[in-house]
Copies of this chain bind each other. A is one copy, B any other.
Amino acid sequence: MSWIDEVKWDAQGLVPVIAQEAASNDVLMFAWMDREALLKTVESGRAVYFSRSRQKLWFKGEESGHVQLVHEVRLDCDNDVVLLKVTQQGHDPSIACHTGRHSCFFQLYRDGAWQSVEPVLKNPESIYSSANKP
């Protein structure tokens, strides 16, 4: 059986994907892949996800320039979750989140509320301006 057929896709043909920064081990973001996205990720060495809201392939960084260079693709014990080890490119310090933050996981539970605990490194409006489009 081919490696791609060993992946257990859900009812929508997707698997959850965790993107982890290789150098820091920080969890940067969470997204989804379909079969084509995973194939393209492995072939290109760049993270390609499946956008559920837009229902199409999402080449990470296609608008923002925040491309993810993929060092490792891992699969969990149940064959239904993927972990990528990446270098987050396009800005220093690295930005993975569309809000302009390093990581999407910037809301910390504290005293009965979610508190934003990570700084915005770049204005999201300038991230998605036409100047950054490839």
Contacts and interface: CB of A to CB of B under 8 A. Distances in A.
A104 B74 CA distance: 10
Contacts of A55: none
A115 B78 CA distance: 14
Interface size class of A (residues with CB under 8 A): 35 or more
Interface string A1-40: 0110010000000001010100011110110000000000
11 contacts: A3-B112, A18-B18, A18-B30, A25-B26, A27-B83, A29-B76, A72-B108, A75-B109, A75-B114, A76-B105, A77-B104
Interface of A: 2-3, 6, 16, 18, 20, 24-27, 29-30, 42, 72-79, 81, 83, 97-99, 101, 104-109, 112-114
